[in-house]
Amino acid sequence: MSGGLLVAGTTSDAGKSVVTAGICRWLVRQGVKVAPFKAQNMSLNSFVTRDGAEIGRAQAMQAQACRVEPSALMNPVLLKPGGERSSQVVLLGRPVGEMSARGYHGGRQERLLGTVLDSLAELRATHDAVICEGAGSPAEINLRRTDIVNMGIARGAGLPVLVVGDIDRGGVFASFFGTVALLAPEDQALVAGYLVNKFRGDVSLLEPGLDMLHGLTGRRTYGVLPFQHGLGIDEEDGLRVSLRGTVRESAVAPPVGEDVLRVAVCAVPLMSNFTDVDALAAEPGVVVRFVDRPEELADADLVIVPGTRGTVRALQWLRERGLADAIARRAAERRPVLGICGGFQLLGEHIEDEVESRAGHVDGLGLLPVRVRFAREKTLTRPVGTALGERVEGYEIHHGVARVAGGDPFLDGCRVGQTWGTHWHGSLESDGFRRAFLHEVAAAAGRRFVPARDTSFAALREEQLDRLGDLIEHHADTDALWRLIESGAPRGLPFIPPGAPA
């Protein structure tokens, strides 16, 4: 059996995904054969493996950090929210049905523990190390009985636990102490120590607090990672996403041409795979923002209607907010509009949905000659094709089956004038196609924008993953971290009262 580690967090968004990816990249650079693992992931951002399995995009990115091909074993349970109280359950890459939160935590989740432990064991049998990511906080005492992603998987597989805290939020010492103190003795015995994330300033000012934390809990801190912009990997969004911020904080080069190109992404409900626009945000001179009001489309050179887990609901939302009319006016004026997956479906003439929303017959926006029927079987593929004279790769995740009855061919969809639609996620990551598409958009918008000739999205991703590996290598005690991965949690770690409630 190989070594292993569970990266837990004091809160959601403490940096677990980033730290996991960083540890993976650091290890693979040391010649270690490593794989990522997340037992259960809740996200609307997913990816399709080469054998047609659906997993969280964060785990696909972590697999890239490991320089291995993503597989369903790396994320055996994926929950895709369909509303505030229900989610589609994807098991080993295949959807198995919809379930309420109460139904899932009321018994189904607990029964999946064997499946996730078997998946982890299979990965550990073929790798030197497996770096696991937790979810939320391990001290969610209301969910501990059915937990399969934090201390449940740690105890089941005997994994040492490293707790990550985001010091930029404040209260990190209380969060570290409280996380351990709310765990049962058997769980506390696996919590080896802490990793401080997003620290700003002089580390020497932090060290007395770390010493006191060690004295209070008997557990050391394995590193203090400095705050750096632009280190986010593909998000695990749950049900939320910033409507107004830029996609990434990382700096890019100035425009090549005289103008910038403004891209407005409609922040539809249950937005899925909004990471599709990351490749645009990486282009010099392209400004990407999320919008939810029609007036915010006025100065946009390109409007994108992204994927969604609720096509009919998104269509209704666009109409209620006046965005549908604004998009229709743009199309009539031959100003560029791109619909991706669910966004493509709602641009069509007609939707027949007895599966996702069960709304039956619904009129679409009528901007593309497309009729959509929702099938119970989900399409999960990795297509390859050509568009605008360039090779394109993508992936498809949808229940809606589109019948195209006109327009010019565009990937699996069509275009009419400057309104484009496709089911293909990830197509904009193909550099030649992205440049050709932006050239068309700029010409239609009357912008003197020139796509950069040398932007490689794949290379930018690799640079980002190397920066994560550098963070671990330069700011964590890597010798101690490797001993933890190889040998497990130190023996004799003290119990911190009160422990978990009975």
Q: What is the 3-state secondary structure (H, E, C) of 252-268?
A: CCCCCCCCCEEEEEECC
Q: Which two tokens stand for residue 410?
A: 């565009």
The residue type found at 282 is A
Task: Please measure the distance between the N-terminal and C-terminal CA atoms of the chain and give it in whole angstroms.
Answer: 33
Provide the b/e sequence for 194-232 (b: ≥16 CB within 10 Å): bbbbbbeeeeeebeeebeebeeebbbebbbbbeeeeebb
Asked whether the CA dihedral 63, 65, 66, 68 is positive or negative, the reply is positive
Residue 368 and residue 407 in contact, taking contact as beta carbons nearer than 8 Å: yes
Measure Cα distances from 478 to 32, 246, 394, 475, 481 in Å: 13, 33, 37, 8, 5
Assess whether 229 carries a catalytic annotation: no
Query: What DSSP letter does each residue of 325-346 carry, written as one string?
Result: HHHHHHHHTT--EEEETHHHHH
Helix (H, G, I), strand (E, B) or coil at 479: helix
Among the listed residues 259, 262, 267, the one whose alpha carbon sits nearest the alpha carbon of residue 294? 267
CA distance 441 to 463: 28
The residue type found at 230 is G
Residue 24 and residue 65 in contact, taking contact as beta carbons nearer than 8 Å: yes
**Residue for token pair 């309104």:** 419
For residue 371, the cross-strand partners are 350, 403
CA angle, corner 472, sides to 467 and 474, nearest 5?
85
Which of 24, 341, 399, 475 is flagged as catalytic?
Answer: 341
**Residue for token pair 């794949």:** 458
Assess whether 24 carries a catalytic annotation: no
CA distance 150 to 192: 14
CA distance 58 to 45: 8
Which of 398, 399, 425, 475 is flagged as catalytic?
Answer: 425
CA distance 87 to 79: 6
Helix (H, G, I), strand (E, B) or coil at 216: helix
Please give the positions annotated as active site: 341, 425
